[in-house]
A = this chain, B = another copy of it.
Amino acid sequence: MTATSLQDCEALDRQDPLRELRDRFDLPDGVIYLDGNSLGALPRATPRRVAEAVERGWGRGLIKSWNAEGWAGLPRTVGDKIARLIGAGPGEVVAADSTSVNLYKVLFAAIRLAATASPQRRIILSERGNFSTDLYIAESLCQQHGYTLKLVAPGDLQLALDGDVAVLMLTQVNFRTGAMHDMPSLTARAHAQGALAVWDLAHSAGAVPVDVHGAQADFAVGCGYKYLNGGPGSPAYVWVHPQHVNRVAQPLSGWWSHSAPFAFAAGYEPATGIDRYLAGSPPILSLVALDCGLDTLLSAEPLGGMAALRRKSLALTEMFMGLVRERLSGHGLGIVTPEEQSRRGSQVCLTRDEGGYAIVQALMARGVIGDFRVGDGQQQPDILRFGFAPLYVRFVDVWNAVEQLRQVLDRGEWRDARFAQPKPVT
C-alpha cells in the first residue's frame, strides 16, 4: 500500500481505529516525531501523576507513602502491566534498574543454569550488530566466568547454534536496521541444541506483539523509555520463565531481592519469584511516570490492543518505505529495513553514502525528528533512523516527513555548515 497524495493520508487517518490515542499525548506543535523508538512522547496524564507522587506522596505522606501510595509494590504493579504486552503472566515481571543492569542479572543467571546442565558449553552467541550495551555486558560476564562471546551475522545464527552454545542472547528488533528476529524459531533451535535463550525486547515490546511464553523464551529484559513512554531514562524490566525463576539467584543481591527485605536478616536468602530480580530501592518518580506511560499504551486494549497497534505500525512503515522509493529515488538512499512484514519492527532505517548526520540535522531544523546512528565504517553503515510509534504517529506525518526529506535532498540543504557533523574529539 502506497498512498499517492496527502489527501489519501488524511483519509487513512480519519479511518484509523486508533486515531483517538494520539490525543493522549502532548506533542509539540509543528513537530513530526519519528523518534519514539528512542524516547517515547509525553502522555498527557503524566505531568499530573508525577506531580501527585511528588506533592502528595512524598510531600504529604513522606515515609508512609511506601505503603499508603503503593510505592513498595510498584515494581510489580508496573511489571504486571508490562507482562500484558509481552505474553507473560501476572507476577512474572518486575520494573527495575536499567536494561544493562537487568541484562547482567539474567545473563548471569542463564550462564549458571546452563552450566548446571552442561558445564562444558562456554559460548554466548549473539548478533554482531546487537545493541552495544548488550554486547558489553556479555563481554564482562564472559571475561569473569571464562566464556567466549561469539558474534555472527543474523543469517548465520541458526547455523552457529551448535552444541557449544550455552546461551543465545539477542535483541528481537535490531536498533540499527529495524530487522526483527523470529523469536520462536531461534528459541526452538537454541533449545534443540541444549542452549538457553535471553531476549532483549527494547525495540519490540509496545510496538510489536511479543509472546515470551508462546516463544518459550527463558529470560527477557526490556526498556521503559521507548515504546512504553516511560520518560527519559525510565526504569527497565525483567522477565524470567517461572520454571527457572527459583532455580538460581541473580548476582545483584540487594535487599529488595531478599525474601524479607525489612527483616534486615543476617544472611542472604533470595525472594521466591520474580522479586528476586530486584536489587535496591526503585526510583519512584521515574517509576510512576512509567506506570502512566503503560496506562496510556494499555488504553489501546479496547481498540484492539497490540494487534491493532501492529497493523497500524506496519502500514506506517510500509507507506514510508514506499514513498521513499517512489518520491526520493535518485537521491542515493538505501533501505536496510526488511520488506517482509514478519521481519521488521516499527522503524525504518535508511542509508546514504554521504551526509547522513547532516540530513538528520536538517530534517530536525524543519521539525521532523528522527535520529542518526553512526556506523563502524565497515560492516555497519551510518543509519538515518525513523521510528513509527503507532500510538501517535499519523499517516499524514509519514507523507510530510518524506516531503520534508525530499526538500532537504533536492535543495542540498544538508550541505549547510550548521548541519555538519562535529569532528570526534581525539
B137 contacts A100, C-beta separation under 8 Å: no
CB distance from A271 to the nearest CB of B (A): 12
Contact A63 B39 (CB under 8 A): yes
A214 at the interface (CB under 8 A from B): no
Q: Which of A192-247 contact B (CB under 8 A)?
A: 225, 231-236
- Complex Cα distance, B64 from A251, in Å, reads 35
Given A39-B63, A47-B51, A140 contacting B268 (CB threshold 8 A): yes
Contacts of A261 in B (CB 8 A): 132
A287 neighbours in B (Cβ, 8 Å):
233
* Docked complex Cα distance between A251 and B258 (Å): 22
Segment at the B interface, from A275-283, A310-318, A398-406: A275-283
User: Is A172 an interface position by the 8 A CB rule?
Assistant: no
A264 touches B101 (CB 8 A): no
A97 on the interface (CB 8 Å rule)? yes
Question: CB-defined interface of A145-173 with B at 8 Å, one 1/0 digit per residue?
Answer: 00000010000000000000000000000
Return the chain B residue nearest A71 by Cβ.
B232
Interface string of A289-318 (1 = CB under 8 A from B): 100000000000000000000000000000
Known contacts being A100-B279, A144-B251, A374-B262, is A47 close to B38, with CB within 8 Å? no
- Cα distance A160–B156 when bound, in Å? 56
Contact of A133 among B128, B176, B280, B376 (CB under 8 A): B280
A114 interfacial by beta-carbon distance below 8 Å: no
Question: Are the CB atoms of B63 and A54 closer together than 8 Å?
Answer: no
Instruction: Please tell me how many copies of the chain the complex holds.
Output: 2
B141, B283, B371, B376: the one within 8 Å of A283 (CB): B283
Minimum C-beta distance from A265 to chain B (A):
7
The verdict on A101 contacting B254 (CB below 8 Å), with A266-B376, A374-B264, A376-B265 known, is yes
CB pair B47–A62 under 8 Å, yes or no, is no
Residues of B within 8 A of A57 (CB): 232
A135 to B176 CA separation, bound complex (whole angstroms): 41
Tell me if A63 and B31 are in contact (CB < 8 A).
Answer: no
CB-CB contacts of A17-42 with B at 8 A, as 1s and 0s? 00000000010100101010011011
User: Is B283 a contact of A234 with CB atoms below 8 Å?
Assistant: yes
The yes or no answer to A84 lying at the interface (CB within 8 A) is no
Tell yes or no: A77 within 8 A of B by CB.
no
Instruction: Tell me which residues from 68 to 127 in chain A have a Cβ below 8 Å from any Cβ of chain B.
Output: 71, 97-101, 104
Inter-chain contact B63/A371, CB cutoff 8 Å: yes
Q: Which of B100, B279, B283 contacts A254 (CB 8 A)?
A: B100
Given pairs A57-B232, A132-B264, A139-B267, 11 additional interface contacts (CB within 8 A) = A26-B59, A35-B63, A41-B62, A42-B54, A54-B289, A58-B232, A71-B232, A104-B252, A131-B255, A225-B281, A233-B287
Q: Which 5 A-B pairs have the closest CB atoms?
A: A98-B280, A100-B254, A100-B280, A283-B286, A232-B284
Instruction: Name 8 interchain pairs, CB-CB below 8 A, sorted by A.
Output: A97-B97, A99-B280, A136-B253, A139-B267, A140-B252, A225-B281, A266-B376, A283-B285
